[in-house]
Structure 1
Amino acid sequence: MLRTLARRAQYGLESGGARGIHPWSPREHGYKSFKSRYGPDYKIGPHLFGLNASNGLTAYDSLLRILPQPQIYLAGGFGAVAGIFALFFFDGVPRVKTDILQKLPFVGGFYKNEVPPEDNPF
């Protein structure tokens, strides 16, 4: 009866004399895998980290499938409300008042604080 390769090599402790490529021996340099002349000729197209043009569009479509439309609208609504709350919560900060709130079309005049010359000590 023939002994198996694992028994012949004694579980990797000593060489069993089998020829070929072993997982514990380094590969020879210049070794190429077999490529048939009759098989297809594969070419790798331009990509960025594995995403090409068509694959990137399908990734965007799959993202829209993961997050259905009502959830996107709900998240956008909560984000808009949180942003408006933050603006009016920090309206006492002079930098927010001059850089953001005074440039709003209908509300900007309310935040312009013009002191009359007789009340200005400087």
Structure 2
Amino acid sequence: MVFQTPIRRAVPSYKSPYGPKYHYQPNVAGITFKQLAGFGFKAGAFGGVALFAVIFYASGIPRVQKDILQKVPFLGNYYIKEIPASDNPF
């Protein structure tokens, strides 16, 4: 292992004002927090699309219509099925 000489340690090294400005980037297992936030945003977007797809495919199930879709503002009235008394067998 190579160590700096004591004289070299006492004198700070020259840093050019035109050189790159390096900063410490905190990370977890090599993934920075900026990348982690991007992954979280993408995962949330995919989750939202997946939730929409599940509700869309299950919208024909009466229990889903009654418990979930009728409670959505502006869309709830579309899923309310009123059967006229003449068509009701009971």
Q: Deviations over 1:33-75 (max 9, x none)?
A: xxxxxxxxxxxxxxxxxxxxxxxxxxxx959728522221111
56, 61, 68: which is aligned to 1:93?
A: 61
Structure 2: how far apart are the matches of 1:67 and 1:118? 62
2:74 matched to 1:106? yes
Sequence identity of aligned pairs in percent?
42
Structure 2: how far apart are the matches of 1:78 and 1:109? 28
Partner AA of 1:110 in structure 2? Y
Secondary structure of the corresponding residue to residue 120 of structure 1? coil
2:84 matched to 1:116? yes
- For normalisation by structure 1, the TM-score amounts to 0.45
41, 49, 52: which is aligned to 1:81?
A: 49
Q: What residue is the counterpart of 1:38 in the other structure? A: none
Secondary structure of the corresponding residue to residue 68 of structure 1? helix
Structure 2: how far apart are the matches of 1:64 and 1:100? 39
- For normalisation by structure 2, the TM-score amounts to 0.59
Q: What residue is the counterpart of 1:26 in the other structure? A: none
Alignment: residue pair count: 62
Structure of higher RCO (CA pairs closer than 8 Å, 6+ residues apart): 2
Q: What residue is the counterpart of 1:32 in the other structure? A: none
Higher strand share: 2
Instruction: Tell me whether 80-89 or 68-77 shows the greater mean CA deviation.
Output: 68-77
Question: Structure 2: 5+ residue runs without aligned partners?
Answer: 1-26
Structure of higher CA gyration radius: 1
Higher helix share: 2
